[in-house]
């Protein structure tokens, strides 16, 4: 088994003339909670899409849990897509039944525990939920899976403060389990998410500008927020 959850070697990806990732090399160890941080357009979502096989890089090598990313590795990856919505006709109960069939490693008991923790009403359809409720439902779909890698693309974006707090509670609850997965998390809500992170990767303009153990980075550069503000300016 590979010691690294994710590794990239000289990976490049462009959309037309815009280079989303430029010669990115990166190695993320297993069992860490990793913040993938950077301003809008830094390449965070592109990185996640490459890791889940949604898009292919033009150059470079990518390994996820020791294999090339694609539909087969997605059995072991729980992914919350950027700007995603849930199937509008599903109630929470429908969504849980769907997840049992379609998401390998999905545990119904964990899902019910998380649904209670996230204060989900099991009878409301996703189409009638607030954005915060829908975001919590989608997070539940990911966190109730017992898989080695969890990839959360902006799980806190556009969500009100009470829902953000519940989402973070949900993440902490999974991280406190004995066999915790590697979690990749991108967010702009660093004030709330920073305490969760024990590893960080900073991207700007499609390049990795800083990466390492969160404590070491804090000692050297100050808080994550401070580092991000410095990079943006």
Partner 1 sequence: MDTTSSLALARIPFWALVKHDFKRRKRGGLRAYRGWWWVYALGVCAALLVLSARVGQAAENLRFAWFAVFGLLFLSFGLGIGCTANEWRNGTVGWWLTLPVSRGRLVLSKWVATLLRTLWVYTRVFLLMAGFGLYSLAVAGQLHYHTLVAFFNTGVGAYTLLLALTPLPAALGVFYGVLMQSRLRPAVPLVWLAFGLVWWQVSTRGNHLPVASHARVSPLFQVWSLWSWHQVEAVLAMWLLAVGLVLGAAVVLDRYLAL
Strand pairing category for 149-153 and 182-186: parallel
Name the 3-class secondary structure at 202.
Answer: strand
Where in 201-220 is the site for partner 1 (CB under 8 A)?
Answer: none
Using the rule CB under 8 A, is 89 a contact of partner 1? Answer: yes
CB of 231 to partner 1, least distance (A): 25
Are 70 and 53 contacting, i.e. CB atoms less than 8 angstroms apart?
A: yes
Q: Does 14 bind partner 1 (CB under 8 A)?
A: no
Q: Is the dihedral of CA 190, 193, 197, 200 positive or negative?
A: negative
176 is a site residue for partner 1 (CB under 8 A): no
Residue in 17, 179, 219, 233 binding partner 1, rule: CB under 8 A: 179
| Binds partner 1 (CB under 8 A): choice among 102, 109, 123, 176 | 102
Tell whether residue 233 is a contact of partner 1 (CB under 8 A): no
**7's tokens:** 């590794």
Distances (CA, A) of 70 to 64, 67, 76: 9, 9, 11
Residue of 30, 41, 98, 157 that binds partner 1 (CB under 8 A): 98
Shortest distance (Å) from residue 118 CB to partner 1 = 18
Nearer to partner 1, 50 or 211 (CB): 50
Nearest Cα to 125, choosing from 83, 155, 93, 166? 93
3-class DSSP string for 5-37: EEEEEEEEEEECCEEEEEEEEEEEECCCEEEEE
Site for partner 1 in 106-165 (CB under 8 A): 127, 146-148
- Considering the rule CB under 8 A, would residue 104 count as an interface residue with partner 1? yes
Residue with Cβ nearer partner 1 (15 or 109): 15
Instruction: Using the minimum distance from each CB to partner 1, give the nearer residue, 56 or 225.
Output: 56
What character string, x for contact with partner 1 (CB under 8 A) and - otherwise, covers 40-79? ---------x--xxxxx--------x-----xx-xxxx-x
SS3 assignment for 61-80:
EEEECCECCCCCHHHHEEEE
Q: Which residue has the tokens 């849930």?
A: 86
Query: Footprint of partner 1 on this chain (CB under 8 A)?
Result: 1, 15, 49, 52-56, 65, 71-72, 74-77, 79, 81-89, 98, 101-102, 104-105, 127, 146-148, 179, 181
């Amino acid at each position: 088994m590979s010691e690294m959850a994710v590794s990239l070697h000289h990976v490049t990806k462009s959309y037309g003339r815009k280079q989303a990732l430029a010669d990115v090399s990166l190695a993320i160890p297993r069992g860490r909670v990793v913040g993938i941080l950077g301003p809008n357009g830094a390449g965070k979502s592109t990185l996640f899409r490459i890791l889940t096989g949604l898009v292919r890089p033009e150059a470079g090598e990518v390994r996820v849990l020791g294999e090339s990313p694609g539909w087969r590795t997605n059995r072991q990856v729980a992914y919350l897509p950027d700007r995603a919505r849930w199937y509008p006709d599903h109630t929470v109960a429908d969504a849980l039944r769907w997840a049992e069939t379609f998401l390998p490693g999905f545990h119904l008991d964990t899902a019910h525990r998380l649904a209670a923790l996230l204060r989900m009403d099991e009878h409301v359809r996703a189409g009638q939920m607030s954005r915060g409720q829908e975001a919590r439902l989608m997070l539940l779909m990911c966190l109730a899976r017992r898989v080695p890698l969890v990839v959360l693309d902006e799980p806190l974006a556009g969500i009100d403060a009470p829902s953000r707090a519940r989402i973070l509670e949900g993440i902490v609850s999974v991280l406190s389990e004995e066999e915790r997965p590697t979690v990749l998390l991108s967010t702009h809500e660093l004030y709330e998410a920073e305490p969760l992170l024990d590893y960080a990767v900073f991207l700007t303009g499609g390049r990795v500008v800083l990466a390492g153990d969160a404590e070491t980075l804090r000692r050297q550069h100050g808080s994550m927020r401070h580092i991000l503000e410095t990079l943006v300016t």
